[in-house]
Amino acid sequence: MRRTLFAIWVGMVAFAVALGAQKTTQVHPGKGGSPHVRSEWTIHGANISIEYGRPFLKGRSVGKEVAPFGQPWRTGADEATTLKTDKPLKFGTLSVPAGTCTLYTLPGESEWQLIVSTRTGQWGIPYPEGQDLGRVPMKVTKTGSPVEQLTISIDETAGGGNLRVEWGTTSASVPFTVG
């Protein structure tokens, strides 16, 4: 009986820690109906936040009517999506210094690219051509079930984290390290 209670307690603590790993707060309701949120994580000692608009699909298709394949996308709604970090991050071969940058993506049918822009504080479109810090490939998989509202998340890994963008049946992700 004690083992069972202890196992249940350990499971509940692990679940609470997992839930506490991401803190999301609403920034504002959005002018076009897409709420804007700030999600925050502490990953291997780095405080990371992403602020973005969370549009709904509303019957549209990713790659066609929204986030068109082959065109840089603001990765959200309204204002450009921002990433803030107090420690340097490394996405593949791309080093992102501590501070604030803007995230765009280049959606594709089988691969996306994460675009990190040095320009900040702008509306999400037009894409600020020529101001990229760099680009890295993102792995594309199918979600377990359709995601109606755009979701950006970070999963902690042994070596750092995994940035994930999910919408519709698309999940695009890229691993990163801290430091």
pLDDT (tens digit, 9 = 90+) per residue, 72-129? 999 999 999 999 999 999 999 999 999 999 999 999 989 999 999 999 989 889 999 9
Residue 154 included in any domain: yes
Task: List residues bridging with 43 in a β-sheet.
Answer: 46
Residue 54 included in any domain: yes
Kindly give the pairing relationship between strand 94-96 and strand 89-91: antiparallel
Residue 59 included in any domain: yes
Residue 109 included in any domain: yes
When divided into structural domains, the chain yields a total of: 1
Q: Count CA atoms closer than 13 A to 50's CA, side-chain side.
A: 22
Q: Taking the mean position of all CA atoms in its chain, how far away is CA 64?
A: 20
Residue 34 included in any domain: yes
Q: Which pTM does this prediction carry?
A: 0.85
Better-scored residue on pLDDT, 27 or 47: 47
Cα–Cα distance, 109 to 161 (Å, whole number): 24
Residue 170 included in any domain: yes
Query: What does pLDDT average to over the chain?
Result: 88
What percent of the chain is helix, strand and coil (3-state, nearest 5)? Answer: 10, 55, 35
Domain that holds residue 157: 24-178
Residue 10 included in any domain: no
Residue 81 included in any domain: yes
